[in-house]
Structure 1
Amino acid sequence: MTRWALILTLWAAPLWAQSPAEDAQAAAARLGEAGVALEAAQGRSDRVAALTETVQAYEDGLTALRDGLRRAAVRQRTLQADLDARSDEVAQLLGVLQTMGRAPAPILLLHPSGPTGTARSGMMLADVTPALQDKVTALRAQLDELAVLQGLQTDALVILEDGLDGAQMARAELSKAIADRTDLPRRFEDDPVQTALLLASSETLEAFASGLADTSAGGPDANTVKGLVPLPVEGQVLRGFNTADAAGIVRPGIVIATRPRALVTAPVPATVRYAGPLLDYGNVVILEPAADVLWVLAGLAEVFGEVGQIVPQGTPVGLMGGQVTDAQGILTESAQGSAGQRTETLYLEVREMQSAVNPAEWFAVQ
């Protein structure tokens, strides 16, 4: 039996009929499927799309596994606390069972008052035995489940290590595939000199974006999905439009909290207008999804794509930075009740007709 099959068999045990086990089992299956997809992607003609799906499968699987392990840890603590609180009761139950186990059945039914007393004791024992059996069954189920939960840590460590290694390999393969890509259409060829001049003359993001807007011409049109566009990265809005940060700085965009090394994609077809470092925003990708509309994605560790390319929906445009927690660290987080932290932030700004607008006008911001 393979490692994955063995672990899935363990996690599919009927002791875990509730969602923590089901979620963990599904997460393990997702990671196993992602590993198969990574191998299959090597021979596909659409390697970028295949590897993008693979990276996302690893991200989804690892996120689900973190949550499943966290919930399993909570369940383990609950079981242990319940057994500890009932230690006296459990000891008494075991004592009764041991006594009954050592005494021959006829002796248990004898009573010093004679046949009548013996008959009564027999009826009482008949009433008590099912209750004892129920308690024994419940105790055995708790002890068995606790044993499974305790043994889960070692199995989860193996899965997490494989999943993290696979995700890292998939990201590296994706970066290489994007760099080698030659099949994307171009609206125009990049003019490095003009871009350098614009960078040198722009002291603000607004000035740089306005300079790009002056050269806009045609391309995709995402106006038909305005207000319904998914966020370009899996995460949670940390700071809203025109909301001051901890330093009191107000910026006309939103900040999205993401996990380390999260994949950032183009949520609709768009033209890449800029990709690279910009002022104090770190690495930036600027997409043009419609005429006179620019989406600024700032704070990336890596950027993909070339200026002038029209990227299809779902195409990776960058990776977030940060340090991915190792397998043992994830287990520690789970044991402490945490499902992982979103430590990285992506800044998203939307500009229409050279003016910043609330990204909620375009994106399905929750």
Structure 2
Amino acid sequence: MIRVALPLMAASLALAVALPGIAMPGSSDAARFADAADAREALEAARQQQRNARARAERLERQSVRSEATADKAQADAAALAARVQQSEAAITAAEAELALVEGQRLALDRQLARKREPLMRLTAALQTMSRRPLALAALQPGSLEDVVHTRAALASAMPVVRERTRALRGDLDRARALEKSRADTLGSLRSAQASLTSRRKELVALAEKERVLARRAAGGASREAERALVLSEEARDLDALVGELELAGALRVRLAALPGPVLRPEEGKAAAPQPVAVPSPDSTEAPSRYLLPVAGRVVAGFGEASVAGSRTSGIAIAPRPRAQIVSPGAGRVAFAGPYRGFGSIVIVEHGNGWTSLVTGLGNVAVEVGQNVTAGSPLGQAPLRRPEIALELRREGESVNPLDHLR
């Protein structure tokens, strides 16, 4: 019976000593999430953001293929690549959440094995002591044969317990190996997503610059408009006043564009042909046909929530990844792009029909005043430290909840 116990002793000793020390580097990934429920929520959100970005990229890539105009094609290409960048960012967030979940399971398994190890070690030590005693010497000691009989009886009752505990530990070992494999697979996905993100960001920088050059050539008076926007930003008493002034300028520009063109001078001896007068149609009040959040992340402040100062928020705030890609929430024209006091770099996009979007908190800006953008066009990146991007949607100066218009 003692011989039978030796393999079980060796197995139980190896399991008890080795399992709690299984190394899984990178436990700092779990620090980004408060607990397992927070990590699961982040994982689900990241996977949904990944699916949305992939679908948007595929739609824009098809649109680029159909585009005949060079400017339209460049715009669609830049927006598609920005969506691919956001897809890679979401993949990284999902991988980090998966790593945090695996790490949490590993720590729980370590605690469970620590509770099992001490009694198992005592049992193993006792069995090893008994196994080292030669059976031949037992006959030379008084009462030793009786002790052997009692020992064999004790072992017979103890062996089922040893086998059961060894079986449970073997199950724990299999589970630990599965966790280790899951972590290795997730780390591989994380490295792949990081490499893809780096490559796509480089491509996007070059493509965004190309789109800016094309937009600059197409818009003759863009430089004067940019200078005027800069003057307005310096003169405006606050951000609301700046947006109001830009909305007035945009409305004036629309009215001027709707006026009939100059009438050609008639040839000598011929009367001027009557020209049709353009009658402006009633202004539409429809919101942008496609509207999306400018960045992937967690909404940390909702529309109308009370701020620390006691005022109500006029938009939403999103906490993204550092250097996350920021895109235009809807199609329109850039009315302002650059730094504004207290808000970091900001971008104001006029959508038409009196609708305006304001995106603040950018770390850098990739568009210029007067540039036309589509929903998803790259606007810039979030800052590296403590990023928080705010989005406001306004209809003729009145703030509305942007979440109500996502489509």
TM-score, normalised to structure 1's length? 0.63
C-alpha separation in 2, matches of 1:266 and 1:143:
50
Which consecutive unaligned segments of at least 5 residues does structure 1 have?
1-19, 103-111, 324-342
Cα distance change, pair 69–276 in 1 and its aligned pair in 2 (3 A): same
Structure index of larger Rg: 2
C-alpha separation in 2, matches of 1:269 and 1:93:
73
Q: Which residue of 2 aligns with 1:355?
A: 398
Residues 1:192 and 2:226 aligned together: yes
SS at match of 1:313: coil
CA positional deviation for 1:147? 5.1
Summarize deviations over 1:223-279 as a string: whole Å, max 9, x none: 3668x9432211222223344433556552222222211112223323222211223
Cα distance change, pair 188–265 in 1 and its aligned pair in 2 (3 A): farther
Cα distance change, pair 310–88 in 1 and its aligned pair in 2 (3 A): same
C-alpha separation in 2, matches of 1:285 and 1:306:
9
Q: Which residue of 1 aligns with 2:197?
A: 167
Q: Which residue of 2 aligns with 1:332?
A: none
The amino acid across from 1:140 in the alignment is R
2:286 to 223, 236, 258: 223
CA positional deviation for 1:75? 0.5
C-alpha separation in 2, matches of 1:97 and 1:175:
69
CA contact (8 A) 1:258 1:346 kept: yes
C-alpha separation in 1, matches of 2:131 and 2:109:
27
Which consecutive unaligned segments of at least 5 residues does structure 2 have?
1-38, 66-73, 133-144, 258-283
C-alpha separation in 1, matches of 2:388 and 2:236:
24
Residues 1:306 and 2:355 aligned together: no
CA contact (8 A) 1:188 1:309 kept: no
C-alpha separation in 1, matches of 2:210 and 2:285:
27
1:86 to 94, 98, 116: 116
Cα distance change, pair 95–235 in 1 and its aligned pair in 2 (3 A): same
Residues 1:178 and 2:212 aligned together: no
C-alpha separation in 1, matches of 2:131 and 2:164:
17
Cα distance change, pair 92–286 in 1 and its aligned pair in 2 (3 A): same
Identity of aligned residues (%): 28
Q: Which residue of 2 aligns with 1:65?
A: 95
Matching of residues 187-266 of structure 1 within 5 Å: 189-190=221-222, 191-214=225-248, 215-216=250-251, 217=254, 223=286, 229-248=291-310, 250-266=312-328
C-alpha separation in 2, matches of 1:53 and 1:321:
19
Cα distance change, pair 222–282 in 1 and its aligned pair in 2 (3 A): farther
Q: Which residue of 2 aligns with 1:293?
A: 355
C-alpha separation in 1, matches of 2:220 and 2:400:
27
The structure whose RCO (Cα within 8 Å, separation 6+) is larger is: 1
Residues 1:283 and 2:313 aligned together: no
SS at match of 1:64: helix
Summarize deviations over 1:9-46 as a string: whole Å, max 9, x none: xxxxxxxxxxx9xx8xx99xx9xxx9xx9xxx9xx987
C-alpha separation in 2, matches of 1:100 and 1:188:
96
Cα distance change, pair 288–79 in 1 and its aligned pair in 2 (3 A): same
CA contact (8 A) 1:52 1:174 kept: yes
CA positional deviation for 1:70? 0.8
SS at match of 2:88: helix
Cα distance change, pair 358–55 in 1 and its aligned pair in 2 (3 A): closer
Q: Which residue of 2 aligns with 1:75?
A: 105
C-alpha separation in 1, matches of 2:285 and 2:127:
72
C-alpha separation in 2, matches of 1:244 and 1:275:
28
Cα distance change, pair 229–86 in 1 and its aligned pair in 2 (3 A): same
C-alpha separation in 2, matches of 1:233 and 1:204:
25
C-alpha separation in 1, matches of 2:346 and 2:370:
15
CA contact (8 A) 2:80 2:376 kept: no
C-alpha separation in 1, matches of 2:210 and 2:131:
74
Q: Which residue of 2 aligns with 1:336?
A: none
Matching of residues 137-156 of structure 1 within 5 Å: 137-146=167-176, 149=179
SS at match of 1:295: strand
CA positional deviation for 1:300? 0.2
Matching of residues 5-84 of structure 1 within 5 Å: 48-84=78-114
* RMSD of aligned residue pairs (Cα, Å): 4.7
CA positional deviation for 1:212? 1.6
Larger displacement relative to structure 2 (291-300 or 177-186): 177-186
Q: Which residue of 1 aligns with 2:166?
A: 136
C-alpha separation in 2, matches of 1:237 and 1:57:
18
Larger displacement relative to structure 2 (236-245 or 65-74): 236-245
Q: Which residue of 2 aligns with 1:339?
A: none
Cα distance change, pair 88–199 in 1 and its aligned pair in 2 (3 A): closer
CA positional deviation for 1:291? 1.4
